[in-house]
Amino acid sequence: MISFKKLALFYFTTISFLFADFKTISTKEVEILIKKNIPIIDIRTHKEFSEFGIIENSYKLTFFDTYGNYNIDIWMDKFTKIIKNKNQPFILVCAHANRTKILGELLSKEYGYKNVYELDGGIKHGWIYKKNKVVK
């Protein structure tokens, strides 16, 4: 397992924001993509799902555990059952859009996914703060 801190260090020491395959999108853009049935992958922890709810029809697919560790092989096995090919668009959601930046870049750069989006501000500031509905 790789720790969140090590992955964050890797992310912040690269010029990752220049890669076009991973995009931060607004709440309004997410709403448009939801209407087109683009999958939402919520990578938060089970505690966070319970505490704040999820965007309706999101897939709960925790990436980092409470200690910041992850197992990419196990996660990818579950993820590829939802996202069937590397050109299929999908939206990543976490609490504040910090973890989605790391995972989005990993999926885009290391795994070759071409249409990776993240909700700007995460579920707290990008969705709930803007008075959008969540479900428990």
Q: pLDDT by residue for the chain (136 residues), tens digit each?
A: 666 655 554 554 344 444 458 999 999 999 999 999 999 999 999 999 999 999 999 999 999 999 999 999 999 999 999 999 999 999 999 999 999 999 999 999 999 999 999 999 999 999 999 999 999 8
Q: What is the pLDDT of residue 4?
A: 61
Q: What is the per-residue pLDDT for 21?
A: 86
Say what the pLDDT of residue 119 is.
98
pLDDT of residue 8: 54
Domain spans in the chain, listed from the N-terminal domain onward:
2-128
- Give domain 2-128's CATH number out of 3.40.50.300, 3.40.250.10, 2.40.10.10, 2.60.40.10: 3.40.250.10
* Cβ–Cβ under 8 Å, residues 108 and 116: yes
Asked whether the beta carbons of 126 and 24 are under 8 A apart, the reply is: no
Give phi and psi for 23, each to the nearest 5. Answer: -130, 140
Distance CA(6)–CA(28), nearest Å, equals: 33
Contact in structure between 94 and 40 (CB atoms under 8 Å): no
pLDDT value, residue 34: 97
Give the per-residue pLDDT at 5: 59
Neighbours of 41 (CB within 10 A): 24
